[in-house]
Amino acid sequence: MLIVGAAYGVIGVGSANLDDTVWANGMRPWRLGAWLASAIVAAVHIGYEHHRLGSSPLRSAWHVAGAASLGGFGIALGANLHWLLSTATTRPELPPLLALALFPVVTGIPAFVGGLAVAAVVRHLSRRSRMA
């Protein structure tokens, strides 16, 4: 869980520091890449939980949510460090400290729900393939 959480944090902070190119439709390619990379990390994490550890869908969902929460905290920490080290004259007067509490919740809850759904489907499909 710690490794996956660190991966989410690195993906989030790293993609935020990349090129600010904006496509014609307003989409930022690096953000799209970060979403795709995070989805791949989540899929590998759920697969590892199921196939290697034999975890139940509920336990897998807790681990996935924990990793996402750690990643969210890492992103919030990166935002606070960016604020602290920024030399811009237009930065907000207060650091984004609230993000340290909110990001883990905002990332963890959807990750739990999504992880539970995906882990349940993986378990169901795995059982069906064994019966065939």
Q: Read out DSSP for 24-56?
A: TTS--HHHHHHHHHHHHHHHHHHHIIIIIS---
Confidence of residue 16 (pLDDT cuts 50, 70, 90): confident
The identity of residue 54, as a single letter, is: G
Contact 5, 71 (CB under 8 A): yes
- Could you list the residue range(s) of the whole structural domain that residue 40 is in? 2-131
With CA atoms as reference, report the closest residue to 75 among 8, 120, 3: 8
Residue type, 105: V
For residue range 82-129, what is the model confidence (pLDDT) as tens digits? 888 877 777 677 778 899 999 999 999 999 999 999 999 999 998 877
How many structural domains are present in the chain?
1
**Cβ(6)–Cβ(13) below 8 Å:** no
Amino acid making up residue 114:
G
DSSP letter assigned to residue 128: H
**pLDDT tens track for 29-77:** 788 888 899 999 999 999 999 999 999 999 999 999 999 999 999 999 9
Q: What is the predicted pLDDT for the residue at 86?
A: 78
- d(C-alpha 46, C-alpha 74), whole Å: 21
Q: Which residues fall within 8 angstroms of residue 97, CB to CB, at 6 or more apart?
A: 80
This prediction has a pTM of 0.84
Q: Phi then psi for 24, rounded to 5 degrees?
A: -60, -35
